[in-house]
A and B are shown apart, each in its own frame.
Chain A
């Protein structure tokens, strides 16, 4: 198992190389570059040339990329073209806020979607089942910026219960953005949980368990839910990736100082070091989460763990 984890971590190296090269090429192909952003409106050709030389834009793209990778090997992700701040420090300064919001939204989503999915599967074709379907569709179709503004109007302005934005009031600040993000995530996991449970609930071994006198609660939670875990873990993993990757829309509406907005602003400003650095760090972060999901499979289903171990034996 350890070897499997180590191999997956080693894959990060070619992934980072590929991702960084792609970003450089895409940013170079996009119309406009940082020179257009930084140069004053009445800049002369000499001023533009001066700016190009100071930022290395007088060199070909491959040379710029190789210089960047050379620095990256020493742990230097470069500085933002816009404000000169270290890319790594800028990202790490914003990451805690993103993790806070992401985890809060994730727990809200899971607290609603998994029980709802289980109940819907148990009461198939009932009002509860239909209601959960409607709720899921509403969650998927409602634009998050609209939902966020409505919640802000009601709970912040009309009722005065919660702040409208920012991260200055601790738990109170996180409620509205987390609920907004969480509701939009609920739909997918609810439906997946319901489908996975329905597949398992028809199984013979559950009939056997009931015949043995196992309480219904244990039948559902231990036996049925345990065997339905694999697709649920996949869905939960995807939602976790969405939560922890940063949501630019939620961060914009609620003025939340996360990494989502950091990346969007960097792309709009053609701030190549910031874009490259943020995406590389995000790639590492996401790869680790995906690895955790794969490890979770192994613990949810011993047959999968056996496959991972069998590969080791073969080699």
Chain B
């Protein structure tokens, strides 16, 4: 009897292993097989057009890849006092000039404003009501009058000067954005003059970045620890629970008029599934960054809407230009022809991505649409491998990965390259270790997989391509590219600038130190009664006008 019971239990446990591995069988998902015979889920929406599908109309407007969601509540409709946002980004930064990380924009979009802002690809006025470029290196901004900080102080030119001078000393992202500013003058209380070191066509884009928001000089001087939380935005910070939540309260003296919702709670949910469950359970009104595997649950729920958007994030493969093995172009081309980009879309992103052609942002100024990705061709790969002097199986490459996505991609890349006769050893690290191991002056990697984001300004290519920067993960010094980047930033003729940026992309494609893999789609889940949201393709979502209709 006991033996029978024991065997029965063993059988149950073995069956349990198969149950745990089965698909959820939702009717909207079909399956397809990869070459390996693995079954994967099709992407949740129709990707025939290779574009994410977000419900058109119904108050959702596409602004160059970002989505404006029902910006105004219906006339006379009652709204709730409190809206709850569930986020994937832990709120840790209380000083936007000290550190910039994922999710920082979202918090400070609620509480701060800059001289100018960004609406899609267009610069719009914020604290500066007007501006003019006096000459190549001089910009003059006229401030709005009567703008109040949360502490009741009026915005003056001295606050702008204080904010920018403080930012430049921080050594942070804010400093980088303002690095082209040589000096600042305040001829009167409402006028600010920026004197640049050299002409900079992207200066307004830089000023629109959240790290260049204006702080209250008095607030920061009185309270160096928390004074940077005081801004001119539509919300004040009522509570900042580091790593847990931020509670915002409406600022009734906001210069652009009071916003609809009294209190907004921004709560961190580390676990993706828990965040989606909270949305379905009506505990939160917005779910930022639901996991790919949970998108279908949101679509299937009639009370919810999934906003999908093409993120400006790009995942890529890179070679270390200082490594003697991969500095041979034949090796790089052998790898480029051996990568099946369509297959890689499923390794981590569940097909919710689009293969990238050129190593440039999909919305970035100067994009070269003529460039096409290297096709998957094992014959071509073998040809270049032989030209490099390696027979099948003789070449072994080290692949360094630091992010969850790269770690999921690595075995697929390893498998693909093995078919081409290239062995790959995977070297996994955490983020801090990865950053240390891939520094420009001391990199130890041979190849790596990583992700980057692209701004709308052409100079955002500098991060990955200019020599000497730790963000240049190919450790690549190309004097022509450096010269083109440094010249284009100052070039007033738009056509010439475009030509320069397009030449940069051609060089990158030809030299093949970077292989762009794909742009990924991201999503946000919202309750159907929620609106007033700007879903930003760079994930700098703006909830400053959010509302939830009362039941």
Q: In the bound complex, do residue A36 and residue B436 qualify as a contact, i.e. CB atoms below 8 Å apart?
A: yes
B182 CB to nearest chain A CB (Å): 16
Q: In the bound complex, do residue B471 and residue A41 qualify as a contact, i.e. CB atoms below 8 Å apart?
A: yes
Using A83-B92, A257-B243 as known contacts, say yes or no to A156 and B436 having CB atoms under 8 A apart. Answer: no
**Nearest residue, chain B, Cβ from A160:** B281
- The yes or no answer to A253 lying at the interface (CB within 8 A) is yes
A311 CB to nearest chain B CB (Å): 45
Which of B39-47, B155-163, B424-432, B531-539 sits within the interface?
A: B424-432
Q: In the bound complex, do residue A30 and residue B471 qualify as a contact, i.e. CB atoms below 8 Å apart?
A: no
Q: In the bound complex, do residue B271 and residue A252 qualify as a contact, i.e. CB atoms below 8 Å apart?
A: yes
Using A42-B463, A157-B277 as known contacts, say yes or no to A255 and B430 having CB atoms under 8 A apart. Answer: no
Q: In the bound complex, do residue B280 and residue A163 qualify as a contact, i.e. CB atoms below 8 Å apart?
A: no
Q: In the bound complex, do residue B430 and residue A84 qualify as a contact, i.e. CB atoms below 8 Å apart?
A: no
- The yes or no answer to A37 lying at the interface (CB within 8 A) is yes
Q: In the bound complex, do residue B100 and residue A32 qualify as a contact, i.e. CB atoms below 8 Å apart?
A: no
Which chain B residues in 141-180 approach chain A with CB under 8 Å? 171-173, 175-176
Contacting residue for A164 out of B268, B274, B437, CB 8 A: B274
Contacting residue for A157 out of B225, B269, B280, B437, CB 8 A: B280
**Nearest residue, chain A, Cβ from B441:** A45
Residue interface bits B220-252, CB-to-A below 8 A is 1, else 0: 000001000000000000000111100000000
Q: In the bound complex, do residue B432 and residue A268 qualify as a contact, i.e. CB atoms below 8 Å apart?
A: yes
- The yes or no answer to B95 lying at the interface (CB within 8 A) is yes
Q: In the bound complex, do residue A153 and residue B277 qualify as a contact, i.e. CB atoms below 8 Å apart?
A: yes
A125 CB to nearest chain B CB (Å): 9
Using A43-B176, A157-B277, A164-B278 as known contacts, say yes or no to A269 and B432 having CB atoms under 8 A apart. Answer: yes
- The yes or no answer to B549 lying at the interface (CB within 8 A) is no
Q: In the bound complex, do residue A31 and residue B92 qualify as a contact, i.e. CB atoms below 8 Å apart?
A: no
Q: Which residues of A contact B95 (CB under 8 A)?
A: 84
A39 CB to nearest chain B CB (Å): 7
> Considering the chains assembled together, what is the distance between the CA atoms of A10 and B242 in angstroms?
34
A116 CB to nearest chain B CB (Å): 18
Q: In the bound complex, do residue A164 and residue B283 qualify as a contact, i.e. CB atoms below 8 Å apart?
A: yes
> Considering the chains assembled together, what is the distance between the CA atoms of A265 and B91 in angstroms?
12
Q: In the bound complex, do residue A255 and residue B176 qualify as a contact, i.e. CB atoms below 8 Å apart?
A: no
Q: In the bound complex, do residue B243 and residue A265 qualify as a contact, i.e. CB atoms below 8 Å apart?
A: yes
- The yes or no answer to A38 lying at the interface (CB within 8 A) is yes
**Nearest residue, chain B, Cβ from A46:** B171
Q: In the bound complex, do residue A166 and residue B267 qualify as a contact, i.e. CB atoms below 8 Å apart?
A: yes
Which chain A residues in 12-34 approach chain B with CB under 8 Å? 30-34
Q: In the bound complex, do residue A42 and residue B469 qualify as a contact, i.e. CB atoms below 8 Å apart?
A: yes
> Considering the chains assembled together, what is the distance between the CA atoms of A145 and B470 in angstroms?
36
- The yes or no answer to B434 lying at the interface (CB within 8 A) is yes
Q: In the bound complex, do residue B94 and residue A84 qualify as a contact, i.e. CB atoms below 8 Å apart?
A: yes
Q: In the bound complex, do residue B90 and residue A265 qualify as a contact, i.e. CB atoms below 8 Å apart?
A: yes
Q: In the bound complex, do residue A165 and residue B274 qualify as a contact, i.e. CB atoms below 8 Å apart?
A: yes
Contacting residue for A47 out of B175, B269, B430, CB 8 A: B175
- The yes or no answer to B5 lying at the interface (CB within 8 A) is yes
A237 CB to nearest chain B CB (Å): 30
Q: In the bound complex, do residue A37 and residue B432 qualify as a contact, i.e. CB atoms below 8 Å apart?
A: yes
B389 CB to nearest chain A CB (Å): 33
Q: Which residues of B contact A208 (CB under 8 A)?
A: none
Q: In the bound complex, do residue A255 and residue B436 qualify as a contact, i.e. CB atoms below 8 Å apart?
A: no
- A40, A46, A47, A265: which has the most chain B beta carbons within 10 Å? A40
Q: Which residues of A contact B176 (CB under 8 A)?
A: 40, 42-43, 47
Contacting residue for B274 out of A82, A84, A254, CB 8 A: A254
Q: Which residues of A contact B5 (CB under 8 A)?
A: 130
> Considering the chains assembled together, what is the distance between the CA atoms of A48 and B437 in angstroms?
16
Contacting residue for B268 out of A93, A255, A262, CB 8 A: A255
Q: Which residues of A contact B273 (CB under 8 A)?
A: 149, 152
Q: Which residues of A contact B463 (CB under 8 A)?
A: 41-42
Q: In the bound complex, do residue A31 and residue B171 qualify as a contact, i.e. CB atoms below 8 Å apart?
A: no
Count contacts on B: residues with CB < 8 A to the other chain. 50
Using A40-B172, A43-B470, A84-B98 as known contacts, say yes or no to A165 and B433 having CB atoms under 8 A apart. Answer: no
Contacting residue for B269 out of A40, A149, A255, CB 8 A: A255
Q: In the bound complex, do residue A47 and residue B274 qualify as a contact, i.e. CB atoms below 8 Å apart?
A: no
Q: In the bound complex, do residue B171 and residue A39 qualify as a contact, i.e. CB atoms below 8 Å apart?
A: yes
Q: In the bound complex, do residue A149 and residue B274 qualify as a contact, i.e. CB atoms below 8 Å apart?
A: yes
**Nearest residue, chain B, Cβ from A152:** B277
Residue interface bits B452-480, CB-to-A below 8 A is 1, else 0: 00000000001100101111000000000
Q: Which residues of B contact A251 (CB under 8 A)?
A: 270
Residue interface bits B413-435, CB-to-A below 8 A is 1, else 0: 00000000000000001111111
Q: Which residues of B contact A157 (CB under 8 A)?
A: 277, 280-281
Which chain A residues in 81-122 approach chain B with CB under 8 Å? 82-85, 90, 93
Q: Which residues of B contact A43 (CB under 8 A)?
A: 171, 176, 469-470
- A32, A42, A43, A82: which has the most chain B beta carbons within 10 Å? A42
- The yes or no answer to A62 lying at the interface (CB within 8 A) is no
- The yes or no answer to B186 lying at the interface (CB within 8 A) is no
Q: In the bound complex, do residue A164 and residue B281 qualify as a contact, i.e. CB atoms below 8 Å apart?
A: yes
- The yes or no answer to B507 lying at the interface (CB within 8 A) is no
- The yes or no answer to A194 lying at the interface (CB within 8 A) is no
- The yes or no answer to B93 lying at the interface (CB within 8 A) is yes
Residue interface bits B248-259, CB-to-A below 8 A is 1, else 0: 000000000000
Q: Which residues of B contact A51 (CB under 8 A)?
A: 171
Using A41-B471, A82-B92 as known contacts, say yes or no to A32 and B434 having CB atoms under 8 A apart. Answer: yes
Residue interface bits A111-145, CB-to-B below 8 A is 1, else 0: 00000000000000000001000100000000001
B240 CB to nearest chain A CB (Å): 9
A89 CB to nearest chain B CB (Å): 10
- B176, B242, B278: which has the most chain A beta carbons within 10 Å? B242
- The yes or no answer to B191 lying at the interface (CB within 8 A) is no
Q: In the bound complex, do residue B270 and residue A37 qualify as a contact, i.e. CB atoms below 8 Å apart?
A: no
A266 CB to nearest chain B CB (Å): 10
Other 9 A-B pairs with CB < 8 A, given A36-B436, A50-B171, A157-B280? A37-B432, A82-B99, A83-B94, A90-B242, A160-B281, A163-B283, A165-B269, A166-B267, A255-B270
List chain A positions with a Cβ less than 8 A from chain B: 30-34, 36-48, 50-51, 54, 80, 82-85, 90, 93, 130, 134, 145, 149, 152-153, 156-157, 160, 163-166, 251-255, 257, 261-262, 265, 268-270
In the complex, 5 of the A-B residue pairs with CB atoms within 8 angstroms, ordered by the A residue number, are A36-B435, A42-B462, A82-B99, A130-B2, A164-B278
